[in-house]
A = this chain, B = another copy of it.
Amino acid sequence: MGGDQAPEIVIQGAELFLQRDRPARVLLFGDQDQLKPLLKAAPLLSESCEIFHTSEAVSMSDKPGQVLRKGRQTSMWLAVNAVHEGRAQAIVSAGNTGALMALAKFQLRTMPGIDRPALGTVWPTRKGQCVILDVGANIEATAKQLADFAMLGWAFARTVLNQENPEIAILNIGSEELKGPDVLRDAAAILRDERLGINFTGFVEGNDLTMGRADVVVTDGFTGNVALKTAEGTARMLAYFMRAAFHGSMLNRLGGWIASGAFRNLKNLMDPNRINGGVFLGLNGIVVKSHGAADSVGFASALDLAASLAGGEFSGRISESLSRLNDKLGPGESDHASPGGEGSDELNTGVATQNT
């Protein structure tokens, strides 16, 4: 029930996702009176899905604290719970980000040694893609938390970018004189330790993000969120100017018409729907946040991302990378369950369909 056009695009997106022959089952959490009519136009989903009816849903304006106290019958809570209980390997939601983070953290708990989960996402670069985290789960981060993010990002990049040995860097500012806050240098000192077995390359600047200078870019959630949204805004402004440029003279229009094929390629490269989905990393379970404004293609991408993470060696890689960090820093906690779902042929993807 979550996102700007829920539940329509959620149902359409799940149908698109299944058309790609993913070996997955979909659990739908939400209002069956709204969901059932939509399923008529989604034959694959109708065949393989299961509806868990609830009339309650988290709204975009609900505060996370409210949802934690009173939201146990909401579709978001129930969907997260399905992951917690192992009935689903991943949850995908386009709903309220803060509530999703709070519910996921409360029910799934953080992995051993992790204080706070981070929101990671895939970012287009000249060379392909990189991973950036945190892009908004926390507004600040200690050096240890930044080091955690690096290890989480390492596992994430290996899985979603298919990089065997991803280059990891910390986002900083470039002036030689002002090398940024102490916390970034402290985090770099942790990550330079060779025993971690990662490829840490130091600091990168904002303009390096799109150059593809690193495969994993580590930052706090405030800075990461500003950078991500600034890049989105810049891309949108350029697209706006480009459209305007091709609507001037007849010659410009003609050029635009002839070049429309090239534009489609460019649009595909930069389409946020193609790489839709932030992942809350560091939890005992896979939680994917779709953009609230995503269309059905975008929601299908978020489901694809969830399926890649649930079906791959992601969980094992995360556990491995974190235990190396914790071994180095001293004994961590070990009272958390490891994330489940690895190696399953058939995945249960819990789709929370929260109302907006």
CA distance A263 to B242 in the complex (A): 8
Q: Which residues of B contact A248 (CB under 8 A)?
A: 261-262, 265
- Residues 124-143 (chain A) with a chain B CB within 8 angstroms: 124-126, 136, 138-140
Q: Which residues of B contact A259 (CB under 8 A)?
A: 245-246, 252, 255-256, 258-259
Q: B-facing mask of A264-297, CB < 8 A → 1, else 0?
A: 0110011000000000000000000000000000
- Give the copy number: 2
Q: Which residues of B contact A102 (CB under 8 A)?
A: 177
Task: Select from chain B the residue with minimum beta-carbon distance to A180.
Answer: B139
Shortest distance between the CB of A61 and any CB in chain B (Å): 7
Q: Which residues of B contact A219 (CB under 8 A)?
A: 226
* Interface 9-mer from A11-19, A47-55, A77-85, A230-238: A230-238
Question: Looking at the complex, which one of B136, B207, B238, B261 makes contact with A229 (CB distance below 8 Å)?
Answer: B207
Q: B-facing mask of A198-242, CB < 8 A → 1, else 0?
A: 000000011111110000000101110111111111111110111
Question: Looking at the complex, which one of B138, B237, B266 makes contact with A242 (CB distance below 8 Å)?
Answer: B266
CA distance A214 to B24 in the complex (A): 46
CA distance A233 to B221 in the complex (A): 20
Q: Is the CB of B252 within 8 A of A175?
A: no
- Residues 156-197 (chain A) with a chain B CB within 8 angstroms: 171, 173-178, 180-181
Lowest 5 CB-CB distances: which A-B pairs, in order?
Answer: A98-B177, A255-B259, A206-B229, A207-B233, A255-B258
**Can you name 18 A-B residue pairings with CB atoms under 8 Å?**
A126-B241, A173-B226, A206-B229, A207-B230, A207-B232, A207-B233, A227-B230, A230-B234, A231-B234, A234-B234, A241-B266, A241-B269, A242-B266, A251-B258, A252-B262, A255-B261, A255-B262, A258-B258
Given contacts A97-B175, A223-B226, 9 further A-B contacts (CB under 8 A): A126-B237, A136-B178, A139-B178, A139-B181, A174-B225, A226-B227, A245-B266, A252-B261, A255-B260
A interface list, Cβ under 8 A from B: 60-61, 63-64, 96-99, 101-102, 124-126, 136, 138-140, 171, 173-178, 180-181, 205-211, 219, 221-223, 225-238, 240-242, 245-246, 248-249, 251-252, 254-263, 265-266, 269-270
